[in-house]
Amino acid sequence: MKEKKECKMCGRYDYLEEHHLIFGRGLRGLSDKYKLVINICRPCHNKIHKDKDLMNWSRQKGQKMFEKNHTRKEFIKIFGKDYLSDKEQI
């Protein structure tokens, strides 16, 4: 799968940085391992680490990416959380 080089949030093409979709204590490395990484531009990147809704969006997106090749059980086992079901219950 070829990834387009553009910001996954606003679509711009410059100042792109790698963002680990699931981050936090010990999780960044796991994001690396399972390639849960997207390109986003610097302004969006700054936002994503400060805005709770965006952090949620990021983690859910990460879980969805993971679940393309793995089961939800595996996700919970590896990451210790279930960002998608937690949200759905509300």
Tokens of 37: 């990484």
Site for Zn ion in 38-67 (CB under 5 A): 41, 44
Smallest distance from the beta carbon of 66 to Zn ion, in angstroms?
17
Q: Which of 64, 84, 66, 62 is nearest to 74 (CA)?
A: 66
Smallest distance from the beta carbon of 27 to Zn ion, in angstroms?
11
Closer to Zn ion by CB, 10 or 86: give it: 10
What is the total residue count of the chain?
90
- Cβ–Cβ under 8 Å, residues 48 and 9: yes
The site that binds Zn ion (CB under 5 A) totals a number of residues, namely: 6
List the beta bridge partners of residue 38: 19
Is position 27 an interface residue for Zn ion (rule: CB under 5 A)?
A: no
Closer to Zn ion by CB, 11 or 71: give it: 11
Integer-rounded Cα Rg, in Å, for the chain is: 13
Interface positions with Zn ion (CB under 5 A) = 7, 9-10, 19, 41, 44
